[in-house]
């Protein structure tokens, strides 16, 4: 028993040290980030959703892991492991969430989540999402209705390497009410991804953010230079959290 406790303590220490190495997302001016988790602990190679603890209709859906990135092929959708309590506490006090992506060809992606109440949320139409490359250049893109998934999506340009920022008010409930995400009474629990038919998309670290983007007076869109906060929560911990009834949006709002 004592040996098991020692092993567990050592494992938790390793997780804490690993979490401290999470890369700080490049944030635009006015925004502060908190890194939640990444995929750097995963072994490179071809994997399945089941191997990684992802949820999907097909647990044998193949993905590729390379250098801390998980490449989701065209036409695939699913959900990352649910956030644990510590991560959800960070998300509850945030103004939005985001993740790092890389593309080779142009990609169309959807983003949604299940709240802790079980309510599924999707992107609303005509909302602004920020794309920030590694150099800090900010580009605004607008969500649009994607018939293939019957929900809204964004287009990511080819050869993009950088960070996406989704404010919470971009999301609505996937029901007849189409209510804006109720941050006072709900918390993000499970992040859902979907990649359209144009090109694959590689996902990296996931983070929460607070604040609002404020471009410079001269119109230049410069980064804030903040390095974010590093959450002491590792991917391995999140992988054991329950997914709890993941639903994928199929209604136009």
Q: What is the pLDDT of residues 190-228, one digit of tens each?
A: 999 999 989 999 999 999 999 999 887 434 444 444 444
Domain assignment present for residue 116? The answer is yes
Please tell me the distance from the alpha carbon of residue 223 to that of residue 215, in angstroms, as a whole number.
9
Please tell me the distance from the alpha carbon of residue 103 to that of residue 79, in angstroms, as a whole number.
19
Domain assignment present for residue 84? The answer is yes
Backbone conformation region of residue 70, classed left if phi is above 0, alpha if psi is from -120 to 50, else beta:
beta
Q: Name the one residue in this structure whose structure tokens are 């510590």.
A: 86
Domain assignment present for residue 53? The answer is yes
Domain assignment present for residue 247? The answer is no
Range of 122's domain? 2-239
Q: Give pTM, 2 decimals.
A: 0.80
Domain assignment present for residue 245? The answer is no
When divided into structural domains, the chain yields a total of: 1
Please tell me the distance from the alpha carbon of residue 44 to that of residue 244, in angstroms, as a whole number.
28
**How much is the pLDDT for 23?**
62
Please tell me the distance from the alpha carbon of residue 151 to that of residue 145, in angstroms, as a whole number.
6
Q: Which residues of 6-22 are buried (b: 16+ CB within 10 A; e: fewer)?
A: eeeeeeeeebeebbeeb
Domain assignment present for residue 244? The answer is no
Domain assignment present for residue 150? The answer is yes
Residue 239: its H or E element: helix 235-239
Residues in the chain with pLDDT < 70? 1-23, 217-253
Answer whether 105's CB lies under 8 Å from 199's CB: yes
Domain assignment present for residue 250? The answer is no
- Residues whose CB is less than 8 angstroms from the CB of residue 163 and which lie 6 or more positions away in sequence, other chains included: 25, 26, 27, 98, 99, 100, 101, 131, 132, 207
**How much is the pLDDT for 178?**
95
């Amino acid at each position: 028993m004592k040996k098991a406790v020692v092993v567990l303590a050592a494992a938790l220490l390793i997780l804490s040290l690993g979490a401290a190495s999470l890369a700080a997302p490049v944030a635009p001016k006015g925004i502060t980030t908190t890194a939640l988790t990444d995929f750097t602990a995963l072994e490179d190679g071809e994997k399945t959703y089941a191997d990684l603890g992802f949820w999907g209709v097909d647990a044998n859906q193949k993905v590729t892991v390379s250098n801390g990135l998980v490449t989701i092929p065209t036409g695939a959708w699913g959900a990352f492991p649910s956030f644990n309590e510590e991560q959800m506490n960070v998300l509850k006090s945030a103004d939005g969430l985001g993740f790092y992506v890389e593309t080779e060809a142009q990609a169309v992606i959807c983003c949604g989540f299940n709240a802790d109440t079980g309510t599924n949320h999707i992107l609303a139409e005509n909302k602004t999402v920020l794309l920030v490359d590694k150099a800090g250049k900010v580009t605004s893109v607008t969500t649009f209705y994607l018939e293939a998934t019957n929900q809204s999506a964004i287009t990511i340009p080819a050869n993009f390497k950088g960070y996406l920022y989704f404010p919470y008010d971009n999301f609505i409930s996937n029901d007849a009410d189409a209510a804006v995400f109720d941050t006072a009474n709900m918390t993000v629990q499970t992040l859902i991804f979907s990649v359209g038919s144009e090109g694959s998309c590689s996902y990296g670290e996931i983070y929460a953010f607070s604040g609002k983007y404020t471009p410079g007076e001269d119109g230049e869109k410069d980064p804030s230079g903040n390095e974010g906060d590093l959450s002491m929560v590792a991917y391995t911990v999140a992988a054991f959290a329950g997914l709890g009834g993941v639903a994928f949006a199929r209604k136009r709002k």
